[in-house]
Structure 1
Amino acid sequence: MYQTIDIITDDRGVATLTLSRADKHNAMSGEMIAELTAAAAQLASDAAVRVVVLAAEGKSFCAGGDLGWMQAQMAADGETRYREARKLAEMLGALNTLPKPVIGAVQGNAFGGGLGLISVCDVAIGADHIKMGLTETRLGLIPATIGPYVVARMGEARARRVFMSARLFGAAEGIDLGLLARIVPAEDLAGVVEREVVPYLSCAPGAVASAKQLVRDLAPTVNEAAIDMTIRALVDRWETEEAAEGIGAFFDKRKAAWMS
């Protein structure tokens, strides 16, 4: 059914949603964004699903936005850019509001939009060797549509440490920033994620869904106005000379003009 992701549900109701573009470091293409949105709806409506594990194939968890997808946005008109950015925002929103607990199994590096995916998990466990970073500003872009979820996860003060600099950081700092709940050796990741899953199987599914909604209601709200503002900010940034230079430099395999 899906081309870029996979869903397997065991007899306990634990669904593993796996990013399966390993050859592209699980970068999010337009097709993957659409499939993740559809998967979120499928998992939300399936009464047999009790818990969702968000995982990935290959060495990387998610390298962020597919550069081909971003290059296509550079060539598009403003209306198309807005529409495509909204699809990304709606995918993240669908995962964020999924009425099932979502456990992230972060086995590899995560950059840009990959941190958006981690931020919409209820709990994320990471392998201790991974690197992460909000790398958009190196390309002349900004972490816009993922921003509401990243800032909600980190808090403003911690987000300011990494939101603008494109600095890479390790798993231990990922805990300090609030992205990861625990880090473990790679060979222990599956077992630790399983231990995170098991308690939910003793809980009333409706109560779990209501409790998750309550947490979201009590927390700072990621509302439609904020989402629309971030989409427009990204569309505006795509139209800048810096974005054209940054993405062009990436594809030309050269340093952007601002790099020393």
Structure 2
Amino acid sequence: MSDQTVSEQTAGGQTLVHYEVRGGAARLTLDSQHNRNAISSALVAQLHEALNRAAADDGARVVVLGHAGGTFCAGADLSEASASQGSPEEQAAERTRIFLGLLRAIISHPKPVIAAVDGHVRAGGMGLVAACDFALAGPTSTFALTEVRLGLAAAMISVPMAARVGSRDLARALLTGEKFDSAHARRIGLLTEAVDDVHAAVDELVAAFRPCSPQGLRENKALLAGPMLAELDARGDDLAGVTARLFTTPEVAEGMTAFLERRPPSWAAAAE
């Protein structure tokens, strides 16, 4: 099949996920730069469409999940959350279920999924990286689990994060919200490789799958994904409940307001 480029669009026509088949890979590019590729309902819907297209595309042996702009994914779209109708708890539970479905779609995808990161990753975006089978990032990339600084917990993404990162390293990242670079992300297991040239490194990795049987890839990936999917299924409702409960608290209201107003939250201590 010849290389092709297609854009996945919402009913309103805005393209947030681009789809391209090149070099034997379905290359999905997040392009919601106005909110730093935050996880909105529209982006999730388009990404599901693109993942489904890639699963059925005979011209693609693997999937590459990349991004436009300087941020791979900034996490949940907090502006969308603040504008939602219904109670905060109901809306939080629904957004969590939607995100759980996206994580499962990546983890259970029949083809290997490679995260190609050449920018910043925050909060829920870390879960997307961890859900991918492989993750490569360039030297200017940075990472942080920032939920703790908003009064939230990294509930749903804790499952794929724990599958990739050692417990001591994960504890520090979860409990401090510190920013770290791609070299550190590689040391703790979040990344497969920290590279100088993301595009070249991704193309080299994609080439490694050319001799592989589609059936063999599908069956071996299912073996690797099984434990993570089982834990998500077993704990999904409880983890969604954590997020829903926290969204009703004054600290989250203050944390989200402070974030949107670009100021420190009231609990942030001044440096001595």
TM range (shorter): over 0.9
Q: 1:78 aligns with which of 76, 80, 89?
A: 89
Write the letter of the residue equivalent to 1:44.
A
CA distance in 2, matches of 1:73, 1:51: 36
In the alignment, is the contact (CA less than 8 A) between 2:24 and 2:206 conserved in 1? no
SS at match of 2:96: helix
TM-score, normalised relative to structure 1: 0.92
In the alignment, is the contact (CA less than 8 A) between 2:74 and 2:124 conserved in 1? yes
CA distance in 2, matches of 1:219, 1:65: 22
1:167 Cα offset (Å): 0.7
**Is it true that 1:178 corresponds to 2:189 in the alignment?**
yes
Question: Counterpart of 2:5?
Answer: none
Write the letter of the residue equivalent to 1:6.
H
**Is it true that 1:162 corresponds to 2:196 in the alignment?**
no
Q: 2:254 aligns with which of 229, 235, 245?
A: 245
1:83 Cα offset (Å): 1.8
Q: 1:193 aligns with which of 202, 226, 229?
A: 202
- Name the count of aligned residue pairs: 257
Please list the CA deviations of residues 77-111 of structure 1 after superposition, one character each: whole Å capped at 9, or x if unmatched: 53333122100111111011111011111000101
Question: Counterpart of 2:152?
Answer: 141
Q: 1:235 aligns with which of 233, 244, 251?
A: 244
TM-score, normalised relative to structure 2: 0.88
In the alignment, is the contact (CA less than 8 A) between 1:73 and 1:81 conserved in 2? no
Write the letter of the residue equivalent to 2:16.
T
**Is it true that 1:129 corresponds to 2:140 in the alignment?**
yes
Write the letter of the residue equivalent to 2:251.
E
CA distance in 1, matches of 2:227, 2:233: 17
1:140 Cα offset (Å): 1.2
In the alignment, is the contact (CA less than 8 A) between 1:108 and 1:127 conserved in 2? yes
Structure 1 runs (4+) deviating above 6 angstroms are none
Structure 1 gap ranges (5+): none
CA distance in 1, matches of 2:262, 2:227: 46
Q: 1:104 aligns with which of 102, 115, 119?
A: 115
CA distance in 1, matches of 2:206, 2:216: 16
**Is it true that 1:256 corresponds to 2:260 in the alignment?**
no
